[in-house]
Amino acid sequence: MDIAKIRNVAFVGHGGVGKTSLVEAILFACGASTRLGRVDDGTTITDFDPDEIKRKISLNTAVGFADHQGHRLNLIDTPGYGDFVADARAGLRVAGAAIVVVDAVAGVQVQTEKVWKFANDFALPRAIVVNRLDRERADFFRTLESLQKRLKGRLVPMHLPIGAENGFAGVVDLIAMRALVLADGKIKEAEIPADLVESARSYREKLTEAAAETDDDLLAKYLEEGSIGEPEMLAALRKAIMSGDLVPILASSATRGIGIGPLLDLIVKEFPSPADAPEVEGTEPRTKAAAKRAADPKAPLSAVVFKTISDPHVGKLSVFRVYSGTLRSDSQVFNAARDSRERIGHLGWLSGKTQKPVESLGPGEIGVVAKLKDTLTGDTLSDEAHPVVLPGISFPEPAISFAIQPKTRGDEDKISIALHRMAEEDPTLHHHYDPETKQLLVSGMGQLHVEVVVERMKRKYNVDVSLLPPRIPYRETVKGRAEVQGKYKKQTGGRGQYGDTWIRVEPLTRGGGFEFVDDIFGGAIPRNFIPSVEKGVRDCMKRGILAGYPVVDLKVTLYDGSYHDVDSSDMAFQIAASMGLQKGFMEAKPCLLEPVMNVEVTAPSEGAGDVIGDLNGRRGRIVGMEPDGDVVAVRAQVPMSEMLTYESSLRSMTGGRGGYSMEFSHYEEVPNQLAEKVVAAHRAEKDKH
Ligand SMILES: Nc1nc2c(ncn2[C@@H]2O[C@H](COP(=O)(O)OP(=O)(O)O)[C@@H](O)[C@H]2O)c(=O)[nH]1
Ligand SMILES: [Mg+2]
- Quickly list DSSP for 652-668: HHHTT--EEEEEEEEEE
Ligand number with the minimum distance to the CA of 259: 1
Helix (H, G, I), strand (E, B) or coil at 529: helix
Q: Which pTM does this prediction carry?
A: 0.80
**Full DSSP string of 61-80:** -EEEEEEETTEEEEEEE---
Ligand 1 binding residues, C-beta < 6 A: 13, 15-21, 38-40, 57-58, 80, 101, 131-132, 134-135, 253-255
Q: Relative to the CA of 16, which ligand 1 atom is closest?
A: 19
| pLDDT tier for residue 412 given thresholds of 50, 70 and 90 | confident
Per-residue pLDDT tens over the stretch 155-214: 999 999 999 999 999 999 999 899 999 988 899 999 999 999 999 999 999 999 999 999
Give the Å distance between the CA of 142 and the centre of ligand 2.
Answer: 24
Q: What is the mean pLDDT of the chain?
A: 93
Among protein residues, the one whose CA lies closest to atom 26 of ligand 1:
132
Residue 647 has pLDDT above 90, yes or no: no
- Ligand 1 atom having least distance to the Cα of 254: 27
Query: Which of 21, 101, 134, 135 for a ligand 1 pocket mutation test, highest count of atoms within 8 Å of Cβ?
Result: 21
Q: What is the Cα–Cα distance from 78 to 90, expressed in whole angstroms?
A: 9
Which pLDDT score, from 0 to 100, does residue 438 have? 80
- Which pLDDT score, from 0 to 100, does residue 473 have? 84
638 CA → ligand 1 middle, Å: 40
Mean pLDDT of 11-38: 96
pLDDT at 639: 95
Residue nearest to atom 13 of ligand 1 (CA): 18
Which residue has a Cα nearest atom 8 of ligand 1? 18
What value does the mean pLDDT take over residues 7-22?
96
pLDDT at 689: 65
Interatomic CA distance for residues 212 and 219, integer angstroms? 5
Question: Per-residue pLDDT for 437 more than 80?
Answer: no
The string over 573-597, giving b where at least 16 C-beta atoms fall within 10 Å of a residue's C-beta and e elsewhere, is bbbbbbbbbbbbbeebebbbbbbbb
- Percent of the chain at pLDDT > 70 equals 100
Does 25 have pLDDT greater than 70? yes
Give the ligand at the shortest distance from the Cα of 100: 1
Q: What is d(CA 634, CA 615) in angstroms, rounded to the nearest whole number?
A: 10
> Which of 147-156, 258-267, 310-319 is the least confident region?
310-319
What is the chain's Cα-based Rg? 33
Residues of the chain with pLDDT > 90: what percent? Answer: 77
Question: Model confidence over 68-116: pLDDT tens digits?
Answer: 999 999 999 999 988 899 999 999 999 999 999 999 998 998 889 999 9
Q: How far apart are CA 556 and CA 534, in angstroms?
A: 9
Does pLDDT of 396 surpass 90?
Answer: no
Does the pLDDT value for residue 376 go beyond 90? yes
In this prediction, residues 523-541 reach a mean pLDDT of 96
Q: What was the pLDDT predicted at 471?
A: 78
CA 300 to chain centroid, in Å, comes to 32
> Which among 497, 493, 515, 494 is positioned nearest to 506, based on CA atoms?
515
Weakest-pLDDT range from 294-298, 559-563, 657-661: 657-661
Smallest Cα–Cα separation from 580: which of 467, 640, 499?
Answer: 499
pLDDT at residue 528 in the model: 95
Give the Cα-Cα-Cα angle 637, 638, 639 (nearest 5 degrees).
Answer: 130
Q: If you average pLDDT over residues 445-472, what whole number do you get?
A: 89
Nearest CA to ligand 1 atom 9: 18
Checking if the pLDDT of 628 tops 80, the result is: no
For residue 116, the CA-to-ligand 1 centroid distance in Å is 20
Say if residue 492's pLDDT is above 90.
no
